Amino acid sequence: MNAVVQQAINEQINNEFFSSYSYLAMSAYCERKQFTGCAQWLRMQSQEEYGHAMRLYDFLAARNGIVQLQAIREPAGEYGSIAEVFQAALEQERTVTKQIDSLYELAFNEKAFSALVELEWFINEQVEEEKTASVIVHKFSMVKDDPAALLDLDRELGSRGAPQAAE
């Protein structure tokens, strides 16, 4: 495997693990604030991001690449509100989209065609991830500080099922 692309994929594995870790920290914040549905949704999102990291890990392993795990930086743990948590989640997804786009561009320029095929899945996934986070942020902006509406939204988010395996 091309060494430049391999290094970039290793960096993205780290980015995905950080994203997983960040969602777990967001979940912990929501638990402390007694928004257990939001905490559940974010915990499921953490598991999904972990799956993304492992998909890249498995791709490198299948191509006889070298997986080089890196330190994961500490995520934010405090927020001004539950709505702010989900705004941070949306911004995180936008950052990941930029990372995936850059990785795709690098793989294209390096003619790493098997990586391009793998990364197409991630590009499609990011469209879904940003849309979902954007819808949740919009719902929080609509309900503002209405306690009954916030409880309903928390209940709705808590109904999320386990993440699907990255195919």
What pLDDT digit, counting tens, does each position of 45-60 carry? 999 999 999 999 999 9
Distance CA 130, CA 155 (A): 21
H helices then E strands: how many in the chain?
5, 0
Task: Tell me yes or no: is domain 3-158 CATH 1.20.1260.10.
Answer: yes
| Structural domain boundaries in the chain | 3-158
Sign, CA torsion 100/165/90/30: negative
Q: Is the model's pLDDT at 167 over the cut of 60? A: no
What pTM was computed for the model? 0.93
Of 61, 58, 28, which is closest to residue 42 (Cα–Cα)?
Answer: 28
- H-helix or E-strand spanning residue 124: helix 113-143
Compute the mean pLDDT over every residue in the chain, rounded to the nearest whole number: 96
Provide mean pLDDT across the span 148-162.
92
The pLDDT of residue 161: 73
Provide mean pLDDT across the span 2-27.
98
Provide mean pLDDT across the span 137-159.
96
Residue 109: partners with Cβ closer than 8 Å, 6 or more residues away: none
Q: Of the given ranges (44-53, 92-101, 139-148, 154-163), which has the lowest mean pLDDT?
A: 154-163
How much of the chain, in percent, has pLDDT values that exceed 70?
A: 96
How many Cα atoms are found within 13 Å in the side-chain-facing hemisphere of 73? 5
CA 130 to centroid of chain Cα atoms:
9
User: What separation, in Å, do the N-terminal and C-terminal C-alpha atoms of the chain show?
Assistant: 22
pLDDT band at 163 (very low <50, low <70, confident <90, very high): low
Residue 14: partners with Cβ closer than 8 Å, 6 or more residues away: 69, 70, 72
The pLDDT of residue 3: 97
- pLDDT digit string, tens, across residues 52-108: 999 999 999 999 999 999 999 999 999 999 999 999 999 999 999 999 999 999 999
